[in-house]
Structure 1
Amino acid sequence: MATLLISDLHLHPGAPAVTEGFLRWLDERAQGADALYILGDFFEAWIGDDLLDLGAADPTGTAPLAQRVASALKALADTGTHLYLMHGNRDFLLGERFAREAGATLLPDPTLVTLGDERVLLMHGDSLCTRDEAYMAFRAQLRDPDWQAQILAMPIPERLELARQLRERSGEANSNKAEDIMDVTQEDVVTALREHGVTTLIHGHTHRPAVHDLEVDGKAARRFVLGDWQPGIGWELEAAPGHDLALRRVALSD
């Protein structure tokens, strides 16, 4: 049975084609999989699991979308597929409630897993973009438990406005940065592989799907980069018994 890995769907009400494509992919591609790993930025923004209490009253439309997606994931989990979620830089407040309703397990970043006969390192990927010093400082704030607790204590309308401001700030900041600054730092990739004692890394975040060959202490190593999802187009990595890891672009519509 195959294991599938995806990331960077950035689900939100303004991109219904991506949501519909993902739900179709679940039905047609993920059925029967042994496991599905979603490596961060599953949602474009997430202000806390209590958003689900708003239901149709959520002015952004995220709550009903999330409930629909969670139900679809739970249906897949109920067939025996193991589901795993990792936080990204957009949905770092995803919590145990959503995971439970989706039938999934939250994973720390990074996480070591076994795919076939190989130990593999999974990450979202943003922690490797160390040349972007401004983002790394911002990331440290976002991942601080005390800061997160303060945010989750805010009324939902204030959190919704904060999320809007953060997305706007991110877009403005990225538009003024060189492309290479927003990619991973090769030395940090090697360090991560060395520290975890593996030769394969799988991550998303950069929206630059590719397979990179590298060397770690004289050993051949690889870095698989998952792509972001767009209307009609998705990216998956498949780990199937007896086959090498395969990164694929997949059509999400006829």
Structure 2
Amino acid sequence: MTTLFISDLHLSASRPDMTDCFLRFMAEDTTNIDALYVLGDLFEMWIGDDEESPFLQQIKQAFKTLTDSGIPCYFVHGNRDFLIGKRFSQQTGVQLLPEHSVVDLYDKPTLILHGDTLCIEDEAYQRYRKKVHNKFIQWLFFRIPLSKRIQIGEKFRNNSSKNNQMKSQSIMDVTASEVVRVMEEFHVDQMIHGHTHRPDIHSLTVDDKPATRIVLGDWYEHGSVLVVTPDGYQLETRAFEQSQSQ
């Protein structure tokens, strides 16, 4: 009995080492598991379900193979791929979850989310997030031709990278008080999220009781997986192939 969690892969056609590691993970690690959860930023950029390419077909087929085998896969939107929609879900069999979801993880209620909503000290990002999650703005964006959307997405991605280089690490991390507030709101003492690219297992206090916050890692230098069983959990890595990472 095993459940796997991944996030912040930031897959793109320009990083075949990441893609190959992910495809090996899907082929080798996901057999005979109970479920796979992807907690956002699966892709470096997602500008609409209507984009098609050989690279995207590879990723979609890997998920389709998994879900066709009877293993459920769940997806929580990240800040890079919040536009993933019903068409992607239908093509892959991946089930889309709300941005905050409580799941029963071997009799342990666990709150899962991408994690960007916890970084409330990054006020500029939170203002941006509010705008791009506006349904009317998204409706307008989807009316733009695909080629133009790709250009806009690349511009936003580049601007985001530049802006993040100018921000302090503390601002881009979660706000401790917000973590506690959200866990209290959902009445849980265990949380799993990504986004910050700082894999770790944190102990804290929620409602005067011991609690745990598990942070998933990114896939920039190696794969990162949280393995959960009824006996516990462990953060593990998956190596890129040497021939492609050099």
TM over 0.5: yes
1:218 aligns with 2:234: no
Amino acid at match of 1:247: L
Q: Name the residue aligned to 1:18.
A: 18
Amino acid at match of 1:9: L
Find 1:171's aligned residue among 158, 161, 166.
Answer: 161
Q: Name the residue aligned to 1:60.
A: none
Q: Name the residue aligned to 1:121.
A: 111
Find 1:236's aligned residue among 215, 222, 225.
Answer: 225
Q: Name the residue aligned to 2:241.
A: 253
Q: For this pair of structures, how many residues does the alignment match?
A: 242
Q: Where does the alignment leave 5 or more consecutive residues of structure 2 unmatched? A: none
Q: Name the residue aligned to 2:47.
A: 47
Question: So what's the TM-score if we normalise by structure 2?
Answer: 0.96
Please list the CA deviations of residues 191-247 of structure 1 after superposition, one character each: whole Å capped at 9, or x if unmatched: 01000000011000000000111001210001100000025x111111212x11222
Q: Where does the alignment leave 5 or more consecutive residues of structure 1 unmatched? A: 53-62
Q: CA deviation at 1:252?
A: 4.1
Q: Name the residue aligned to 2:194.
A: 204
Find 1:151's aligned residue among 107, 122, 141.
Answer: 141
Secondary structure of the residue aligned to 1:21 is helix
Please list the CA deviations of residues 17-45 of structure 1 after superposition, one character each: whole Å capped at 9, or x if unmatched: 10000000111111111100000000000
Q: Name the residue aligned to 1:134.
A: 124
Give me the identity figure in percent.
44
Please say if residues 114 and 120 of structure 1, whose CA atoms lie closer than 8 Å, have aligned partners that are also in contact.
yes
Please list the CA deviations of residues 147-198 of structure 1 after superposition, one character each: whole Å capped at 9, or x if unmatched: 1111111111110111011001101111111110000000000001000000
Cα distance in 2 for partners of 1:65, 1:35 equals 24
Please say if residues 17 and 241 of structure 2, whose CA atoms lie closer than 8 Å, have aligned partners that are also in contact.
no
1:89 aligns with 2:79: yes
Amino acid at match of 1:182: M
Question: So what's the TM-score if we normalise by structure 1?
Answer: 0.93
Please list the CA deviations of residues 79-111 of structure 1 after superposition, one character each: whole Å capped at 9, or x if unmatched: 111011111000111011111111110111011
Please say if residues 92 and 142 of structure 1, whose CA atoms lie closer than 8 Å, have aligned partners that are also in contact.
no
Cα distance in 2 for partners of 1:106, 1:12 equals 21
1:192 aligns with 2:182: yes
Cα distance in 1 for partners of 2:76, 2:198 equals 19
Cα distance in 1 for partners of 2:240, 2:66 equals 18
Cα distance in 2 for partners of 1:222, 1:142 equals 31
Q: After TM superposition, what 4+ stretches of structure 1 lie above 3 angstroms from structure 2?
A: none
